A and B are shown apart, each in its own frame.
Chain A
Amino acid sequence: MGRLKPNSFAYYRPNSVASALQCLATQPDAKILAGGQSLVPAMNFRLSRPACLIDINGIEALAHVEVCADKVVLGALVHHQQIHEHPSIRQHFPVLAEAAGEIGHLAIRNRGTLGGSLVHADPASELPAAMVALRAVMEVAGVDGTRRIPAAEFFVGWMTTALDTGEMLVSVHVPLSSSSVYGFAEFARRPGDFAYVGAFVERAANESGAVTWFGVSDKPEYRPMSALPRDAAARQAEWQQLAAKLEVLDEPRMRRKLAVVLAERAYQKVEEAKIG
């Protein structure tokens, strides 16, 4: 079979976060390898040429889902398919489970990791937007300790995050909310492709809401709404107004149009969820 060829690289497989960080600090031009679903293709095309790969798949502490009193903590190595199937995630964040099921195909979801997707920060991927919509907090570790970054501040631009050199994402804290209901919709040419445009819509108990779009600009776009109209025409006008102000990546007409359509479809899912 024809194969694509990465250039040569050093390979480390640490078994703790501390040793991974040590590796990251001492190896020049190192990259963390988790599921490898984006990094490995990029390396095979030689678009990415790291001198060193730090394979974190042996760090068991990163592979857990933990339900706490006020939040669910997802380790960076949790796979997309786990998010899609996990009973606690299905119970507390059905929209996250649903969105994770739209990532790639089963083989990709079985390998791809939450941390990898968030750190890669492809503006068309589901999980960064989901974390913004759910107001999750990223826990990031460096040799000097850990810090927490709200998702909305974590994604700073096209495939760029607030991670500093030498830092790695270890977990994501998703706050539990009993009052908000979420809906999700996306458009892709083929199921499993990166979304062309997608949206998460939230209705809070006090009739306020929010929409988080992805695939329209260089990062997830969160827009709070002081009132999420019940009236279809008013809602449509609201979506249109918000979409018109988006700084669209390319094909602005098509992307804005679909931003409106998908926000409304996500809203309809909210309605269904409430009935359900």
Chain B
Amino acid sequence: MTVRFEQSKPQFTGARVERAEDARLLTGRARYLDDLDFPGTLEVAFVRSTHAAAKLVSVHAEAASRMPGVRMVWTAADIHVTLDSPEFGVNQPVLAKDEVRYVGEPVVAIFADSRYAAEDAADTVEVTYADLPPVLHIREALQAETRRVHAERPNVMYHQEYQTDGFEEAFGNALHHLSATFTLHRQTAVPMETRGCMAAPDGATNRLHVYVSHQSPHGFRADLCKFLGVPEHAVRVIVPEVGGAFGIKAMFYPEYVVVALAALRLRRPVKWIADRSECLLADCHARDGIHDVDVAFDGDGRILALRDHLMGDSGAYPAVPFCGSIGETSLAARMLTGPYKIPHLSFTIDCTYSNKAPLGAYRGVWGPPASFVQEGVVDRVARALHKDPVAVRRINLLQPEDFPYRTASGFVYDPGSYAESLETALELVDYDGFRKRQREDRSRGVYRGIGISVFVEPTAMAASEAGDIPYEAATVRMEPTGTVTAALGLGPSGQGHETTMAQLIADELGVDVRDVVVLHGDTDSAPYGGGTGGSRSGTIGGGAALTAGRKLRDKLLALAAHLLEADVADIELKDGAAHVAGVPAQRLTVQQLATAAYTDVNRLPEGMKPGLEVMARYQPTRPITFSNGTHIAVVDVDVATGQIQTVDYVVANDCGVLINPTIVEGQIHGGVAQGIGEALLEELKYDTEGQLTTVSLSDYLLPTTHDIPNIRIRHLVTPSESKGGFKGMGEGSLIAAPAAVVAAVSDALEPFGVMVSSMPVTPDQVLEWIDADQEKKVDSVDSKVYFEN
């Protein structure tokens, strides 16, 4: 039996297989959207609104039409498509019509022989605006008297309330209460490759080929066809190499319609690639929310009831197909109790329109805000009771015997290593030793703090920003030579699916991982699928790869059994050959089997169809599987300058069975880096007129290699019920990291009474807190003297 087990042990799944993608990515051979160039391609420059809220009095683009190299100029008068959001009763014209609602909104499109010519022409367009008072803050938008962003709709575009039975009683009866407001500023994903789209009419098939940097090839095709009013078989969507996506490329944008329609009109290829300013102005934004939170707890630090008024800024339009503010708030509300046994929850959600860019998906979506609140609440309870933050976590954390656990919001958590992940991370970071050293550090004027973030990540959800496709599909074809071509509907942007899916399929078919090629990103070759987003590809896509691989394996085994005249149960498929168990000499290579299946079909068993090609769909049995883990950050705060440096970082991560630990760790590294950016650096700033003032990377601060410490990771494995035992893990690191970093800042500045309540934390804020604390201390000394007198 032992021998049997050893033989069937996966060879590639779980191993640190080198990524198939890396050679081309690291040597500059990858082909991104802007590397594609067809003869006669026109390029597009958009004239974008420079006003946050204004009536369009006039748009004069006649001079632009006469500029050299300009082939066409479009305003709203020329293109009547709107991005409709029927559920909100708000439609966005793809070129602003009558009114502009955010800075960066496309107003005019110029099609020219080169982007330079198009930009020169854009300079000549004259737009006259009549300003309206911009709506820029959520609390302002909530006031009934505030001007409506959309005259026909109230500014509150989404409202939801929820409360557990007995909430008021549980809240009222608690011994202790505290309140806090948590604020998350605006940011965006900033993928290294900016957004873009190229449309080329295909003369041979009379179809439109659309090349786009996107996460969901089929979802994109569906949206584009809907807005263009063309059938789906008339459009082929091709996603080339994608240089980062992070949710913002799961969205559908007005520019795509303009590019596609212009290509159809002009019968020429038309290309638009966003520049970095357009990326910051007109990619969907994220976060921008406020949480007014009340907590009830007992003397041990047990949290009894949690109330949150979640407010989210939707921007000027509900982003298509995923309104970010609703995603940020509604899932945050339901996940607000996180890994803690908090029996009572009450929440109210309000999402409002504003004169800012639309809010969409960014990695983690709801998670960083919810973790910030959830961990911030635990740390506040600990501080209020003069307890160690670890002690309060231990009291509230879900324990192994609690699973499956039904949360106060009605989610059912599958088993995870919640308490174990905390203990593992504490050990990795040497928590007790840290606390001892911290006391000594403080006596030397060194303010070093530690922050803990225990996270739960709902993954592989039936619905996410990647759409409402609860399944994924894979085709697996063994070629006559015995090598394998697979195709999936995923939309990777660096996650390494060509490697991980190949690992799974190779193990099913007993072939070398290098003999499996994985295709994706072309609606002509890939089976219909949801794409990549919501941490679904590993679990759902992996399940599809396994299901299809197993189907093909079964056929290979049956064929081998027939040809080797053995019982199918005795056939082993390994190292590129099928052989009879215990009789290694009695074997056929997969190439021999494949040849038989395709060309020597008379040898096939009765009833077996020729060929070795299968298609399978996989839908997990659970609507969600929850992965988990604990992040601990250590930061130094320079109390003279306010500078914050992350100096140590540990992660205990449980995403079920690992397909490729190196890739999992890469995902964690990236998420932690983005989390440090979210906590300390990144902020899209609008001024009082609604101008975005952070339109280059010298103003929008991304973390650099200097800002990221070495990250130590330990893996825990609690398999899920999904095929393969996988759980998603694409977002957990960004969900957990910001909360850990800001908690560490709060801990470092505990002697000054600081508890961070907004992100990002900036040096000037730190100095203000310290000044305020010192003034307070001076005041209290004064009053004490007065009292003694």
Contacts and interface: CB of A to CB of B under 8 A. Distances in A.
The residue among B34, B196, B643 with the most chain A CB atoms within 10 A of its own CB is: B643
A190 B681 contact: yes
Given A190-B701, A258-B641, A4 B706 contact: no
A191 B706 contact: yes
B423 to A, nearest CB: 34
A188 B195 CA distance: 30
Contacts of B45: 5
A191 B704 CA distance: 9
A254 B194 contact: no
A272 interface: no
Report the interface size class on chain B.
Answer: 20 to 34
Contacts of B194: 1-2
Contacts of A5: 45, 115-116, 119, 275
Interface residues of A, number: 22
Interface residues of A: mostly helix, strand, loop or mixed? loop
A243 to B, nearest CB: 14
A261 interface: yes
Interface stretch (B276-284, B360-368, B412-420): B276-284
A2 B279 contact: yes
A190 B279 CA distance: 22
Contacts of A257: 767
B120 interface: yes
A194 B681 CA distance: 15
A258 B640 CA distance: 8
A193 B273 CA distance: 27
Interface string A1-44: 11111011000000000000000000000000000000000000
A187 B762 CA distance: 13
Nearest to B192: A1
Contacts of A187: 641, 643, 763
Given A2-B276, A190-B706, A261 B32 contact: no
Interface in A24-71: 45-46
B707 interface: yes
Nearest to B34: A1
B275 A3 contact: yes
Interface residues of B: mostly helix, strand, loop or mixed? mixed
Interface in B726-776: 763-764, 767
A100 B707 CA distance: 21
B41 to A, nearest CB: 15
Contact of A7 (B119, B278, B681): B119
B164 interface: no
B763 A189 contact: yes
The residue among A5, A8, A194 with the most chain B CB atoms within 10 A of its own CB is: A5
A157 interface: no
B640 A261 contact: yes
B316 to A, nearest CB: 23
A251 interface: yes
Contact of B120 (A7, A189, A262): A7
B275 to A, nearest CB: 4
Contacts of B195: 2
Contact of B193 (A1, A189, A193, A254): A1
A254 B704 contact: no
A192 interface: yes
B693 interface: no
Nearest to A261: B640
Contacts of A190: 681, 701, 703-704, 706-707
A1 B698 CA distance: 18
B586 interface: no
A45 B196 CA distance: 19
A2 B273 contact: yes
Nearest to B274: A2
Contacts of A258: 641
Contacts of A1: 32, 34, 193-194, 273
Given A189-B681, A190-B681, A190-B701, A45 B193 contact: no
B675 to A, nearest CB: 16
B774 to A, nearest CB: 12
Interface string A100-112: 0000000000000
Given A189-B681, A189-B701, A190-B704, A2 B116 contact: no
A3 B115 contact: yes
A187 B701 CA distance: 15
A2 B277 CA distance: 10
Contacts of A254: 763-764, 767
Given A2-B276, A45-B277, A192 B706 contact: yes
A45 B280 CA distance: 14
Contacts of A4: 275-277
B704 A2 contact: no
B696 interface: yes
B253 to A, nearest CB: 14
A104 B278 CA distance: 24
10 contacts: A1-B32, A2-B195, A2-B279, A3-B273, A3-B275, A4-B276, A7-B120, A7-B123, A190-B703, A258-B641
CB-based closest 8 A-B pairs:
A2-B194, A2-B275, A191-B706, A5-B119, A261-B640, A2-B273, A2-B274, A254-B764
Given A3-B115, A3-B273, A45-B277, 7 more contacts: A1-B32, A2-B194, A4-B277, A8-B116, A187-B763, A190-B703, A257-B767
Interface of B: 32, 34, 45, 115-116, 119-120, 123, 193-196, 273-279, 640-641, 643, 681, 696, 698, 701, 703-704, 706-707, 763-764, 767
